[in-house]
Structure 1
Amino acid sequence: MTITIAQHTAHPLTVSRLGYGTMRLTGPDIWGEPADRPQALEILKTAVSSGVNFIDTADYYGEDVTNRLIAEALHSYPSDLVICTKVGATRRPDKSWVPYNTPENLRASIDNNLRTLKQEQIQLVHLRLMGHGPVPLAEQLGAMFEMQREGKIQHVGLSNVTREELETGLQLGSIATVENMYSYAQRTTMQLPHGANPGGEEVLDLCEQHGIPLIPFFSLVHGLPNAGNKLAEIAKKHNATEAQLNIAWLLHKSPWILPIPGTSSLAHLRENLKAAQIHLSAEDMAYLG
């Protein structure tokens, strides 16, 4: 199964429909070095050797921890590997998440990502929105598109966006991808300590209309505790875990969904990758709802 990013542009990117998100490779609270650094490096190598060619990261994971791990484990990168990063946020010493989204901030973040990932151009960058603030979306995206014209960014995506924000973004320029929280049990807006996270269900139809891949994040962290008995029943039917069924449900929900389940366990990585082999029937999907 593959999916094409920015299919209508001169430089489309085709990747496997099961990627890997690196956020869980950091220490507690997405801060600091991993508890088991050798295993973190092995997870990245195993993911790529197993066919994963889409990796999601951000320089504010750690901070800079996941980018440095990616470069150490995988550079020089395979020609078909797409590394997607995010800008628009930063972390304070108290581990809080705050906007970092002025044009100057965004440029500093892109330059930092280029340095830590050891790249001359980043193939895909998500602008993560941090709620309504003093910097208008048009100004933030304008800075991103300017860096795209300069060649620092190949494709621009949006993360954590409402339907209205995505509609605005589509009027301002070419949006390659959208990354929102989405899982079987968590489909709409969720309130978190650092603000609201819009759900994937709110933008999925727009993504499908425009041929924009939707990349779910936190699909295993927040979704499963509230999944209910139906997911467990279908998981048992397929001799799979609920986490695997959640990934399979996303893959079957729409051909425009590109899951990026993350983990800090090599065993769990291998389990997650097996989810792509699960075939859910139309009856399974109807039962799950």
Structure 2
Amino acid sequence: MKSTPTSPLMSTITIAQNSAHPLTVNRLGYGTMRLTGPEIWGEPTNRPEALQILRTAVELGVNFIDTADYYGEDVTNRLIAEALYPYPQDLVICTKVGATRRPDKSWVPFNTPENLRTSIDNNLRTLRQEQIQLVHLRLMGHGPVPLDEQLRAMFEMQREGKILHVGLSNVTREELETGLALGPIATVENMYSYAQRTTVQLPHGANPGGEEVLDLCEQHGIPLIPFFSLIHGLPKAGNKIAEIAQKHNATEAQINIAWLLHKSPWILPIPGTSSLAHFRENLAAATFHLSPEDIAYLG
């Protein structure tokens, strides 16, 4: 029998709440990117542990899993299918399209309408699904394919039944506003953490921060899904998060997750790890209650 963690913070969040097919999930998900080999490439170092993390996540009540066919490539999708298929009825698997990897491990756009259709078909095949419940269109800078052309291709596949809901990833406020004018945007996935809230420059381009779109997401009832929140944020966090972690006998990573959960009921964290022990630590972050004084001190 599935055992869901008992915590006021392990509440639920509804994706596409005003649609004909809303999806309600527990408010702490799992991002699979770190299950791959070094540099998000190749097979996991410890394959049995990777499979066990996925199975443990579902056993403990995690029912939102984030993946992409360009993780590995195709590694995380195949691990998910191996570990969890046939899938529990309440499990939501979210994937991403719009990018691919070159043999030199670089990240490049893959976002023409034909590219996007190829990616969706590949995700359907590797995940063993007839329809993908949620797909994020990942924006990879200002390339030759306009956002409206990319999104129209996504909405066309939604009408065909290949996709249930369409989300956006790595978007600025202006790009989100453009997306909302073109059709229903179910979710937004941006980099966001206690210490990394606005745009950060990475080798493969700029990553807009969650703070830039959070209020717009709240206004439209759109869940904001933070990614990379444990990797890029904590080294810059300074002493405050360390002090709050010591107060609660917690790790800084746990306080970062708890801060995100407290920040807004529209935030759905998906902390990722390749360690089963660290996964359990991350999940325990849903049990921490940060006081108003804690939140005020963190700022």
Q: TM-score band (shorter)?
A: over 0.9
* Aligned residue in 2 for 1:112: 122
* Correspondence 1:22-61 to 2 at 5 A: 22-61=32-71
* Aligned residue in 2 for 1:258: 268
Instruction: Give 1:197's match in structure 2, choosing from 207, 212, 215.
Output: 207
* Correspondence 1:1-289 to 2 at 5 A: 1-289=11-299
User: Matched residue of 2:68: which SS?
Assistant: coil
User: Matched residue of 1:168: which SS?
Assistant: helix
Deviations along 1:185-217, one digit per CA (max 9) or x if unpaired, are 000000000000000000000000000000000
Deviations along 1:6-32, one digit per CA (max 9) or x if unpaired, are 000000000000000000000000000
2:180 alignment partner AA: L
Deviations along 1:203-256, one digit per CA (max 9) or x if unpaired, are 000000000000000000111101111001111111100000000000000000
Deviations along 1:37-59, one digit per CA (max 9) or x if unpaired, are 00000000001100000000000
Q: Normalization by structure 1: what TM-score?
A: 1.00
Aligned residues: 289
User: Matched residue of 2:260: which SS?
Assistant: helix
Identity of aligned residues (%): 88
Tell me how far apart the structure 2 counterparts of residues 109 and 159 of structure 1 sit (CA, whole Å): 16
Deviations along 1:111-130, one digit per CA (max 9) or x if unpaired, are 00000000000000000000
User: Matched residue of 1:146: which SS?
Assistant: helix
2:104 alignment partner AA: D
> How far 1:144 sits from its partner (Å)?
0.2
Q: Normalization by structure 2: what TM-score?
A: 0.96
2:43 alignment partner AA: E
Aligned structure 1 segments of 4 or more residues deviating by more than 3 angstroms: none
> How far 1:288 sits from its partner (Å)?
0.4
1:166 alignment partner AA: L
CA RMSD between the two structures: 0.3
Deviations along 1:60-113, one digit per CA (max 9) or x if unpaired, are 000000000000000000000000000000000000000000000000000000
Gaps of 5+ in 2: 1-10
> How far 1:133 sits from its partner (Å)?
0.9
User: Matched residue of 1:276: which SS?
Assistant: helix
> How far 1:282 sits from its partner (Å)?
1.1
2:196 alignment partner AA: Q
User: Matched residue of 1:85: which SS?
Assistant: strand
